[in-house]
Structure 1
């Protein structure tokens, strides 16, 4: 707020809005300046709210631009890491990447909506990043899912992913075996693979990528080159998809 008031004050009185101008003033000038600003703001309090709104808008746009830059810089790791699930249309023109945690309530809320979006749009190439951050139960679920992906392939993984995301009980040997069987996976091979270095490295790589692109929560989506942190409604998803289409090079 202090930074906002200084910036607002300098702008109001026709000065270049930076801290150096304020620090160059003499003590008497600072006192007079401060009294003038205070009087003005007391008489025109709506200016503060307008300035706050402008500052918030600028900061929001700066965050969007930073996220876009990160998505562009790391697009190969996001879209083609060589081990993450790829669904929808593997040749689709729009990459939709989702970082998930099976114990994340908002991931669960978005789960069916994302699947519906992918099913309804044949230009989406859907990439799932296993990103367990909510405790050991999350890690166990991701290990099981990735083990199924490695051994049984993407179609079976997609079924396992659905079962894990919608399951309400604890993840343990018995419940994971039941889900693997229901998904059409080999539960014995899943159990053998879950704690191998291969699976550990996949999760570690996803976490390292998330750190590089400043992802700390789930779900996080990347629609093309636009990063979205947190749950968004189906209407917003569709709007983001249209934005991603508009951003494609014109044929």
Structure 2
């Protein structure tokens, strides 16, 4: 057997066996040097082996990460899907729940808003939950407090209308601009502003932030669709595929 074929055999065997079954420590210094040289020669002659190995490693890591995320979703299911402080829309009796962590100053959240809107319109069997998760700026926090306060003061329908307006909003989010928005939606701005800094509103934002920390969510948008956790934006077709996977 040639040196290269020996190295190929050894490398293949080493990758195939459990770590404990291939013990370099049992080799003599001369055997280690010869083996290392043979493996190096083989890889220099066949670099595609490294590409294949890296691709396989990435596949395994991605599969493990997806499985780990499913465990996170299962462990935190009550707080993800049934937290009383969140707004729930779509089909309240839908066969699958989509949860989104949002920040009103996040450009990708605004882009994802269009995706979610299309998905909910084309699939009438999805329950949709919004989790206020302001992380980008002081304006993010102000807008989130405003939205939660609207829900607590004026109810779910008012929250939905304000949420839609905030997702379309492109200017600075200030007390003045938010007060105008409340007035336009026939909501008493003074009541909402008085509510914004109360413990009831803070508790909602705190609970969502703690949940995000437990789940390793550090950015927006982030989605939980059924049992899958998606960290980031996904186009419409990809979202439909995820939903189909969860149903299938």
TM-score surpassing 0.5? yes
Q: Distance in 2 between matches of 1:68 and 1:11?
A: 34
Match of 2:200 in 1: 198
Matched, 1:43 2:7: no
Q: How does 1:91-102 map to 2 (within 5 A)?
A: 91-102=93-104
Match of 1:28 in 2: 30
Match of 2:169 in 1: 167
CA contact (8 A) 1:86 1:128 kept: yes
Runs of 4+ in 1 over 4 A off after TM superposition: 8-11
Q: Distance in 2 between matches of 1:9 and 1:71?
A: 42
Q: Decide whether aligned partners of structure 1 residues 17 and 97 sit closer, same or farther in structure 2, where only a CA change above 3 A counts.
A: same
Which of 235, 242, 245 is the equivalent residue of 2:244?
Answer: 242
Q: How does 1:87-126 map to 2 (within 5 A)?
A: 87-126=89-128
CA offsets 1:12-65 (integer angstroms, 9 cap, x no match): 244635277234444333222211110100111110101111001110111111
Q: Distance in 2 between matches of 1:189 and 1:11?
A: 71
Aligned-residue CA RMSD in angstroms?
Answer: 1.8
Which of 122, 135, 138 is the equivalent residue of 1:136?
Answer: 138
CA contact (8 A) 1:145 1:161 kept: yes
Q: Decide whether aligned partners of structure 1 residues 184 and 112 sit closer, same or farther in structure 2, where only a CA change above 3 A counts.
A: farther
Match of 2:182 in 1: 180
What TM-score results when the alignment is normalised by the length of structure 2?
Answer: 0.91
CA offsets 1:54-86 (integer angstroms, 9 cap, x no match): 001110111111111111111111110111000
**Mind listing any 5+ residue stretches in structure 2 that lack a counterpart?**
1-7
What TM-score results when the alignment is normalised by the length of structure 1?
Answer: 0.90
Q: Distance in 2 between matches of 1:165 and 1:179?
A: 12
Q: Decide whether aligned partners of structure 1 residues 163 and 22 sit closer, same or farther in structure 2, where only a CA change above 3 A counts.
A: farther
Describe the SS at the equivalent of 1:148. Answer: helix
Match of 2:12 in 1: 12
When Rg is computed on C-alpha atoms for both structures, the one with the higher figure is 2
CA contact (8 A) 1:10 1:17 kept: no
Deviates more, 1:121-130 or 1:12-21: 12-21
Q: CA deviation at 1:185?
A: 2.3
